[in-house]
Every structure is written in structure tokens, then in C-alpha cells.
Amino acid sequence: MIYDLIIAGAGPAGLAAGIYAGRYMLKTLIIEKAQDGGQISQTAEIENYPGLRTDMEESGLTLTERMTEQVKRFGAERALDEIISFELEGEIKKLTGLSGKVYEARTVILAMGAHYRSIGCKNEDKFRGMGISFCATCDANFFRGLDVYVAGGGDSAIEEAIYLTKFARKVTVIHRRDELRAAKSIQEKAFANDKLHFIWDSVVDEALGEDVLNGLVIRNVRTGELTTIKADPNDGMIGLFGFLGMIPNTDRLEGSGIELMNGYIRADESTRTNIAGVFAAGDIRTKELRQVVTAVSDGATAAYQAEKYLAG
Ligand code: NAP
């Protein structure tokens, strides 16, 4: 079977592309390796996507479920598989799955998204979701009145650290250099906030605790000195949030001929890549604002472009 369109990835970008491809009556296959939704499948609350319901708490999962249902109504086929190699340069594109299956189509939309960079400390996996988080909006409430630490020094780290001060007793940013990467306007707000503190030239070396996170070992990257921070005995626990940037899921595209920039697929608002018939939608492409609303916009555009390409 040669499809008109294969969409790799069923996050918001891929699902929106599926809806639009259905409207264009394209014979479409959407391939996803895990559950639909991508990054938002981990998001407890979504509040900045237009038109969300206010009579129920909207999580990333509930929003995704409705998108998935909508895609079904438009008739796209689905496959549960992880694409491990992409042959994109011919007229017929060939995608090989971990299952061994080869999927073929005339056009491809790459919508595999991006993931958070891990903190890289000892015991990170042990405490993920048990004291270590990558989403302040999702988890800030669990750390109400406690001491919270934030790893990173970019816009996300500092904006989220400011947000966390509304919940935590004290928020301490741990940054590997002695100046922040975040925009000056964000820095100004941060330095004026009494609840925000900084540990410079340092990274988190180890997360400590039995069942809950109750301490950190911090390493000074200049001197190598290790310092242990313990939770206030009355609290018994602390929180650690990681905002160290995103990593685009493009490693499987190596050797495919797709042009990357800083790891992201080089594509503008048209979503066209350097290869004819191949489009990039959502967080995986070069862009300034990575949000659900911009991902679904890309998905619609990419499906439109695929249809235009197929129509010659
Ligand atoms: P980012 O700008 O790439 O910042 C990542 C931060 O993590 C940097 O401070 C970096 O340190 C640090 N870091 C990276 N790897 C590390 C490691 N292995 N160990 C310790 N620290 C590490 O990422 P981001 O803050 O998520 O922002 C991503 C993009 O979204 C940026 O273009 C940003 O401007 C944009 N954004 C904009 C807004 C806004 O305008 N309101 C809000 C959020 C994000 P170094 O500084 O030393 O490299």
C-alpha cells in the first residue's frame, strides 16, 4: 500500500495534520510509537489553548483524547510503531519501523516533537514524579510552602522559577554559569523577587532521599566542591524542577538528507523542508514559539502543503 501521506508522530501537530488530511481526502497513515499527545500527555492542566472548556479541568490527556477522536472521524489509518529509519529523497518515501515493517507514501509530515533535557544527576529517574519535575504548571501545587530548586538559567527556568515563588516558601535557581541566559526583562523581575535565590557556577550532582526527595548534592563546576543541601526537618521534602532546554526528536533522521539547524528540522512557516514532499510540523521544526496552538497550526499548514504537492 502506498499512502498519499504518512504522518510520523501523533502529538497536537500530527493529529491536526490528520484532521486536515482527512478533509482533503488524502489516504493517510499516522504512526505513533507510544500514546498520542506527545509532551502534553504529561501536562496536568492546559489553560492557554483557545476554546478550552471551563466546566471541567482540561488536562493534556483529555484534550488529546478529543483530538484523537476527531482524527478517527476523518478516517486516517493508525499504526503503533517507532520509525527507526527514513528514506525521504525519492518520489516514494519509505519509513522503516522497529517492527520491521516498511511504510510507503508520496508525502511525509515529520511531527515527532521534542523532549526535555534531563538534569543529569544521580537518582534522577528514581525521583522523577516523586520530587523531580519538568513542569511547574503541572506540579507547583505539590510543593506549596516548601523549599524548591530549579536547574537552568534560560527563559523557561527563570519564568518558571518566578511562577513557583507563588507556591513555594523559597525558590533557588541552580545555574552552571555566573550569569543567566534568560532575557534581561525576565532577569530584572527575578532579581527583584525576594523569594528567589541563586546558586551560581553549579549543577545538581545527586538527588537524595529514601522515598521522597529530601536533599541535593550540588557541585561547583569551577572548583569541583560538593555541597549537600537538606530539606527543613519540619518539611521532610524538597522539590527540584529541571528547565534545561529541549532536545528535538531528530536523531532517527540522520542520513535521511533532511537539513537540520541546532538539531531542529530547518523549515519556515510553510513547513516545507529541503526535500520535496516532506514537511515538518510542531516542536521539531525551527521556530520561535513552541506551544500547542502553534503545533496544531503547523499541522494544518503541513497537510495543506502535502495536498498541494500531490496535486502537482
Ligand atoms: P534554553 O534557552 O536553551 O536554556 C537552557 C538553560 O539550561 C541554559 O541556561 C543552559 O545553560 C542550561 N543548560 C543546558 N544544558 C545544561 C546542562 N547539561 N547542565 C546544566 N545546565 C544546562 O532553553 P529554554 O529556557 O527552555 O528556552 C528555549 C527557547 O524558548 C529559547 O529560545 C527561549 O528564548 C524560548 N522561550 C521564551 C520564553 C519567553 O519569551 N517568554 C519563555 C520560555 C522559553 P547555559 O546558559 O550555560 O547554556
What pLDDT sits at residue 79? 98
Domains of the chain, start order? 2-115+246-311 (3.50.50.60), 132-242 (3.50.50.60)
Please give the model's pTM, rounded to 2 decimal places: 0.80
What pLDDT sits at residue 60? 84
What pLDDT sits at residue 225? 98
Report CA(38)–ligand 1 centroid distance (Å): 20
Q: Which residue among 162, 176, 289 is best mutated to probe the pocket of ligand 1, counting the most ligand atoms within 8 A of its Cβ?
A: 176
What are φ and ψ of residue 265, in 5° steps?
-70, 130
Q: Which residue among 116, 118, 124, 156 is best mutated to probe the pocket of ligand 1, counting the most ligand atoms within 8 A of its Cβ?
A: 156
- For 118, residues 6+ apart whose C-beta sits below 8 A from its C-beta are 124, 242, 244
235 pocket-lining for ligand 1 (C-beta < 6 Å): no
Rounded alpha-carbon distances, angstroms, from residue 194 to 4, 180, 244, 270: 57, 17, 23, 44
195 pocket-lining for ligand 1 (C-beta < 6 Å): no
Position of cell 514532499? 277
Name the DSSP letter for residue 210.
Answer: S
- Please give the chain's pLDDT, 312 residues, in tens: 999 999 999 999 999 999 999 999 999 999 999 999 988 876 666 777 898 877 777 788 889 999 999 999 999 999 999 999 999 999 999 999 999 999 999 999 999 999 999 999 999 999 998 899 988 877 899 999 999 999 999 998 999 999 999 999 999 999 999 999 999 999 999 999 999 999 999 999 999 999 999 999 999 999 999 999 999 999 999 999 999 999 999 999 999 999 999 999 999 999 999 999 999 999 999 998 888 999 999 999 999 999 999 999
What pLDDT sits at residue 193? 98
Q: How far apart are CA 247 and CA 257, in angstroms?
A: 19
What pLDDT sits at residue 45? 65
Nearest CA to ligand 1 atom 37: 155
